[in-house]
Chain A
Amino acid sequence: MSEYLFLVPLLPFIGFLINGLLLGRLPRPVVSFIACASVGLSFVIALLLFFDLKAMPADMRLIEQTLFTWIPAGSFHANIAYMLDPLSAVMILVVSGVGFVIHIYSVGYMHHDPCFGRYFTYMNLFTFAMLTLVLADNFLLMFVGWEGVGLCSYLLIGFWYEKKSAADAGKKAFIVNRIGDFGFLIGMFIIFWQIGSLDFQTVMAEAPHVFIAGGGLITAVCLLLFMGATGKSAQIPLFVWLPDAMEGPTPVSALIHAATMVTAGVYMIVRTNVLYMMAPDAMLVVAIIGVATAFFAATIGLAQNDIKRVLAYSTVSQLGYMFLACGVGAFTAGIFHLMTHAFFKALLFLGAGSVIHGMSNEQDMRYMGGLKKYMPITFWTMLIATLAISGIPGFSGFFSKDEILWKSFSSQFGHPVFWVLGVITAGLTAFYMFRLINMTFFGKGRMDDKTRKHLHEAPRSMTVPLIVLAVLSVVGGYVGLPHVFFGATNYFEHWMAPVLSGGQAASHALASGGGDTGTELGLMAASVLLVLIAIYFAYLLYNKSPERATSLREKLSGMHKMIVNKYYVDEIYGATIVRPLVYFSLFLWKVVDVVVIDGFINGLAGAYSDVSGYLRTSQTGRVRSYATVFVVGVVIVTAYFLFG
């Protein structure tokens, strides 16, 4: 089976080629069949490869496949080569699995769109790029996937390009990501010039011998790579593109801007965990940025009225959790949360898509309400996802989030402050998510009559994916049960262990950390309690007595305004970076280019023509004046020879 590894990314690529080259010439059922089948088949192969890998002894779990030499130049050498290990196995299952479900959903969701074919072309290209990203066996090929998913994100955010806001959002996403890539590239350069290779295995094996643990260089490398991650995974300070990315079709938000692409930064850090474990200072930065983003984005989520924007900020916040996990050395927990988040957040977005679909493209929750009776499947599945993201025991999110919180407290890289902020964020999360549920599905319908008449449950192609994801949102957590639960086995941790052994060896640290069972259970209970209180408040304010929400909003109007305006971050960037740059560029063009350089040259030309114009006056064409000059000349020359 292992010789078919390349098919996992290649199949969606073939789908992309067929649909792309024959765009507009294939009937819709064929287009959607090719798109879905290519991703589905890729999922099946991924599953078979997973079992192959599982059959191997734990420390030998590695499948490699080199296709061809890509760039050979001097001492530099990069291959197109894929690598499957426990980490990438989890990733390809999530990407192709969730991707497949979302492709199916899209068939129903995009049914009315005139650009059906273009949509699936982009989606297949995205799947190819994302699979390349997680299967790459070297930094450079990973960068190919990294930029490839960025491109697809750009194309799909701006899918409805006639809308200026959509085109703007796409461009913003691409450029902000490029700022992050700047760091990624420089990080790669340092790694290459230090180690002489960009292959993951060589780099991870050599790094402990080449870099001084805790030294400035390895810290710089990690921070530069992390800069790339902040761009792709929408962390402070580069998170600004993700909320705007909601301009794209909703399944795109589910696949790219929730389940897969935005988690690439987390994947990258776990992939390079050997380097990070050698740079504790960088780890601290990662943890601080992670927890700060988690908290900060959650507060913005409290006051958004667009259903997709709530989910967008929620995604930013949840990604912050994953970085917190990486920052405290709990890489397994980070990937575990990545996986469960992929299930429940994809479900939330698809549910929101179903709501928007039923509401005739209305996204503002202030005009929703009471949808429970019109769309029961959507309601129940979204409720499950909401319970999962809020961390209610028994649902997947509980296990993964709890593990992160516990590690942020107990790990040797952890700190109680991380835990406190993490738990407060969990409370905020539960609050804004139940606010969403209450505003959307409960209470009186606030839509106009035309919309109300049109209200309907989504077609089967959309509800089946919802149900599948709902099941995963529940059971997905049971692969990683915490040890404190009756000594349960954490399969996920065992599975991931070989990937992390190198990092632990390099740092001589135990990432699993200490702490006793009693503390762990106590902290768990505290966070669950806070979440329940938050849910009650959300019920109180947005279901039982909405007038209290109004009065609370008025009381805190200053703060509310600030949150609604997202702390004016976009405005600040505009005023301090974007506009000055444009003015400076105009100055360069209008002044330096036109006035200084061309002015100088035209001045030269002018001076030249002045001088020659003056000299020309001597060429009078009159014999008398020539004769005069001639005589004067003769006199001077003679005088020189006689008296000189």
Chain B
Amino acid sequence: MENQILTLVTFFPLLGVILLMFVPREKTETIKVLALVMSVVTMLLSFWMYGMFDPLANGMQFDVNTPWISSLGINYHLGIDGISLLLILLTTILTPLAILASWKSIRTAIKGYYISMLLLEVGMVGVFCSLDLFMFYVFWEVMLVPMYFLIGLWGGPRRIYAAIKFVLFTMFGSLLMLVAIMYILFEYQKYSGVFSFDMLKILGELPLGHQQQLWLFGAFALAFAIKVPMFPFHTWLPDAHVEAPTAGSVILAGVLLKMGTYGFIRICLPLFPDATITFLPWICVLSLIGIVYGALVAMVQKDVKSLVAFSSVSHMGFIMLGMFALNLEGLEGSVIQMINHGISTGALFLLVGMLYERRHTRLIEDFGGIAKVMPLYSAIFMIVTLSSIGLPLTNGFVGEFLILLGVFKSNTVYGIIATSGVILSACYMLWMYQRVIYGKITKPENEKLTDLDWREKAILIPLVLLIFWIGIYPKPFLDRMEPAVKQVLAQVSRASTVEAEQAAPLNSMLETPQTEPETVTYNADGDSHE
């Protein structure tokens, strides 16, 4: 059982999809309950997996590796380390909450909707545990289909435009990724004589020249950067969020965006270390622009959802920047912030959705004085807002602080610019909060609003608990990811020392530069192959 746990967690929702197919379309209650039960069981299975996970072990755990299409070297290869473990947990926790959030708001084509949700979960979990590039690609693309339908069928008025924009952006990126995967396949065949998509084998064996790495990194990075999304590839995000139904936004912001950052950590950094160092300044600058740009644009949004969407651009900039600090603090902060962003932004979209269900508007100016009629809602909204702006003892602080600490170590100027994002996030979030929650009730429609019901409490309270848990006692999570993060850094450190020093200069302001473990390593093939 233990070695099949990953298969179980990944494909259990698929069992739900199959069962749902046999439920008659009119039995809406049965459909909803079945979908919820299946996703909850998946969540419990993932908890069980968390319990079995060995926090001290290095390398992949629960490894499953059997030939699938052996003529092409495609293997059914799953395995997780601490990073994927946390992301899988995030997925399995958010999915049942998203399903619960759709309970009343989705009224058309209910069967198709819940099938899409469960299919989406399969794709997301699959991406986070695939160790075979082919499987990774398949899961990556599989999850596009249900998301396309979620936005395009159950979305808002401009849903078709948003859905097509979303798919085209993502497809454009993933096509290049496919080309890169094929190139790696043939390179590996040239090198070893057999076909293989196995990430671990490619990582361990295949030597790639600097030039090759640059192209491959570029292709993968474009696919991932669009997903993250990094500036200037972010314009699909606000449209997709505004039009998507609540659950779609939750999954999109909570998990889908992390597939981009996860891709960077799992593929770009370890497989192409030299290219990582070469591209590092570009990625950092784009991330910094994203942080400031996202925050500023968020400030002037009139729709709460697009405000949260732009705030995601800013937050994801932090995550990318922390990752490319290429030190333990930054990278651990980056991973924990992926989880945090999923929780806080997911919660924000849920909260906005609850208001939308009551008022059928998301414009900030249509609200005001909500605290009077919905005190519990307002209190939870406040907690989530604080988590989003990174107040200490909420989860956001742990991630943001570690990221900034790491970035500051690798580049003082980047660190200072990024820290200014801390001020801006307080500006846009608190201003929005004030206009929605505080003040007098100006619209008569708002006077009759009811506070949270039991279902809504059941959705929000787990997230609030997670906000404080990670904020006050993040140790279990940090401990579990540390071996994995160290591994990634060790792989990046195969890059040539010369380049590492060029690209990540320690600022002269520091009088006693610290020796960075990842830069003092042997000289790899980067320059000699030129």
Contacts and interface: CB of A to CB of B under 8 A. Distances in A.
Contacts of A202: none
A541 interface: no
Nearest to A146: B392
Contacts of A178: 422-423, 426
Contacts of A581: 296, 299
Nearest to A115: B375
Interface string A182-225: 10011001101110000000000000001010011100100000
Interface string A51-70: 00000000000000000111
A193 B408 contact: yes
Interface in B380-399: 386, 391-393, 397-398
Given A151-B391, A186-B408, A601-B235, A171 B402 contact: no
Given A71-B478, A75-B329, A161-B439, A582 B372 contact: no
A276 interface: no
B510 interface: yes
B402 A73 contact: yes
A216 B420 CA distance: 22
Contact of B415 (A69, A189, A582): A189
Interface stretch (B18-26, B358-366, B469-477): B469-477
A593 B231 CA distance: 10
B257 to A, nearest CB: 18
A581 B386 CA distance: 23
A167 B482 contact: no
A598 B514 CA distance: 44
B297 A585 contact: yes
B509 interface: yes
A162 B440 contact: yes
A73 B430 contact: no
A420 interface: no
A175 B426 contact: yes
A456 B479 CA distance: 62
Interface string B297-336: 1011100000000000000000000000001110011000
Interface in A145-179: 147-148, 151, 154, 158, 161-162, 164, 167-168, 170-171, 174-175, 178-179
What DSSP secondary structure best describes chain B's contact surface?
helix
Contacts, number: 142
Contacts of A158: 434, 438
Interface residues of B, number: 57
B296 A584 contact: yes
Given A164-B439, A171-B431, A71 B401 contact: yes
B510 A151 contact: no
Interface string B417-431: 001101100110011
A181 interface: yes
A167 B438 contact: yes
Contacts of B391: 147-148, 151
A505 interface: no
B152 interface: no
B333 A73 contact: yes
Given A76-B405, A588-B297, 18 more contacts: A71-B475, A73-B482, A140-B392, A144-B392, A144-B393, A167-B438, A168-B434, A182-B419, A186-B408, A186-B419, A190-B408, A190-B510, A194-B510, A217-B509, A581-B299, A585-B299, A589-B301, A593-B235
27 contacts: A73-B332, A73-B333, A74-B327, A74-B328, A140-B392, A144-B392, A148-B391, A158-B438, A161-B437, A161-B439, A162-B372, A162-B438, A162-B440, A175-B426, A175-B430, A182-B422, A185-B419, A186-B416, A189-B404, A189-B408, A193-B510, A217-B510, A582-B300, A585-B297, A588-B296, A589-B301, A597-B235
Going nearest first, the 6 A-B pairs with the smallest beta carbon separation are: A74-B328, A161-B438, A585-B296, A144-B392, A167-B438, A189-B408
